[in-house]
């Protein structure tokens, strides 16, 4: 197998799953502010994960997601709408998969490599969203940082994937659309594969990338 690759480990949110799907489904309640709302919610969600990790004040991803949503609702003057808040939060259990995700995972599955998801989401959130997106059947192991009580890109999270899959870092292709996650994975020793659907410029160049792709389906070229 090419480069000794034994496993593909995927980030979930933004990579396999459309992290903005919750807002898209409720865009009518926000009007022209929907895109800005989605961007702020996501940025605060990540920021709170990182700051909690640095302060050793872990709370699970569901709690952090709600904290970030409360801030965003207040910022946009929507904090009075409890029904909207409930709809947005519940949508995280049924996020849409990116259109090519199912085909891409099926191709990799045919190649006899291990397929795993390594996510900041809770076990319940990950499995529910993967099942709703029609992806769970392709996943050998859905791993959550909640088992460690620390968020990516802490190296312990990537080590957890190696320990669970019984592989060395050099045998893993780590796939993400998030540059910060790829930097953590590459620094740990994974082969970092960036899914760059929007053709964003390079980031965290000190960490290096193994490959970059416009679509998940291109990953199959790594194991030919």
Would you call 11 a catalytic residue per the annotation? yes
Helix, strand counts (H, E) of the chain: 8, 6
One pLDDT digit (tens) per residue for the chain, 224 residues: 456 999 999 999 999 999 888 888 888 888 889 999 999 999 999 999 999 999 999 999 999 999 999 999 999 999 999 999 999 999 888 889 999 999 999 999 998 899 999 999 999 999 999 999 999 999 999 999 999 999 999 999 999 999 999 999 999 999 999 999 999 999 999 999 999 999 999 999 999 999 999 999 999 999 86
Predicted TM-score of the model (pTM): 0.94
- Residue 15 has what pLDDT? 97
Beta bridge partners of 115: 8
pLDDT number for residue 25: 85
> What is the chain's alpha carbon radius of gyration, rounded to the nearest angstrom?
17
Cross-strand bridge partners of residue 114: 7
70, β-bridge pairs: none
Query: What is the model's pLDDT at position 3?
Result: 64
Domains of the chain listed by start with CATH number: 2-18+97-223 (3.40.50.1000), 21-93 (1.10.150.240)
User: One of 11, 18, 146, 181 is an active-site residue; which one?
Assistant: 11
Residue 2 has what pLDDT? Answer: 56
What is the edge-to-edge ordering of all strands in the sheet holding 172-176?
A: 141-144, 114-119, 7-10, 172-176, 191-195, 211-213
pLDDT of amino acid 24: 86
């Amino acid at each position: 197998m090419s480069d000794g690759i034994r496993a593909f480990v995927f980030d979930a949110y933004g990579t396999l799953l459309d992290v903005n799907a919750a807002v898209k489904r409720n865009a009518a309640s926000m009007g022209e502010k929907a895109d800005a709302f989605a961007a702020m919610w996501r940025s605060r969600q990540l920021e709170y994960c990182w700051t909690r990790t640095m302060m050793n004040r872990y709370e699970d991803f569901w709690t952090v997601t709600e904290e970030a949503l409360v801030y965003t609702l207040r910022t946009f003057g929507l904090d009075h709408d409890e029904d909207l808040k409930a709809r947005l939060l519940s949508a995280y259990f049924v996020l849409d998969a990116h259109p090519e995700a199912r085909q891409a995972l099926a191709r990799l599955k045919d190649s006899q490599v291990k397929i795993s998801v390594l996510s900041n989401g809770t076990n319940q959130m990950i499995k529910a969203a993967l099942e709703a997106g029609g992806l769970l059947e392709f996943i050998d192991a859905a791993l959550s940082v909640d088992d460690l009580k620390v968020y990516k890109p802490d190296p312990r999270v990537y080590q957890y994937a190696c320990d669970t899959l019984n592989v060395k870092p050099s045998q893993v292709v780590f796939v993400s659309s998030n540059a910060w996650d790829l930097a953590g994975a590459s620094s740990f020793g994974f082969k970092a594969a960036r899914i760059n659907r929007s053709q964003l410029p390079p980031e965290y160049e000190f960490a290096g990338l193994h490959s970059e792709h416009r679509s998940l389906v291109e990953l199959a070229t790594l194991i030919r």
